[in-house]
């Protein structure tokens, strides 16, 4: 299983973006580095923005990813709202 950070890094590299380009207007390049190395967890807002910048659905970033955010009620509720489950 890939971690969230590994998945973001993999997609970023495939799209040819640098950490600086991915971070521009969203967060700092240092934050992107920390997320990719699993030293930091992005907020839901940043996660949505990263998915948009990487041109992938949010669900693609979090599917099959084994990390505690999936168990967070805040993230579950946000995903359910996005899907229209609520």
Task: Give the CATH number, domain containing residue 58.
Answer: 1.10.260.40
Through-space distance between the first and last CA atoms of the chain, rounded to whole angstroms: 29
Q: List Cα–Cα distances, 26 to 66, 76, 81, in angstroms.
A: 24, 22, 23
Count the domains in the chain. Answer: 1
More reliable by pLDDT, 46 or 2: 46
- The CB density around residue 52, as the number of other CB atoms within 10 Å, is 12
> Domain residues for 36?
4-83
Determine the pLDDT at residue 20.
98
Give the pLDDT confidence of 44-77 residue by residue, as tens digits: 899 999 999 999 999 888 876 645 555 556 666 6
Supply angle C-alpha 10, 48, 50, rounded to 5: 35
C-beta of residue 50 within 8 angstroms of C-beta of residue 15: no
Q: Can you say how many angstroms the Cα of residue 78 is from the centroid of all Cα atoms in its chain?
A: 14
Question: pLDDT tier at 26 (50, 70, 90 boundaries)?
Answer: very high
């Amino acid at each position: 299983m890939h971690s969230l950070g590994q998945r973001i890094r993999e997609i970023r590299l495939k799209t040819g973006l640098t950490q600086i380009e991915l971070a521009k207007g969203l967060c700092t390049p240092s934050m992107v580095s920390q997320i990719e190395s699993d030293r930091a967890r992005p907020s839901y807002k940043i996660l949505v923005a990263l998915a948009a910048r990487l041109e992938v659905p949010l669900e693609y970033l979090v599917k099959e990813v084994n990390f505690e955010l999936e168990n967070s009620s805040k993230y579950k509720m946000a995903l359910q709202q996005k899907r229209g489950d609520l």
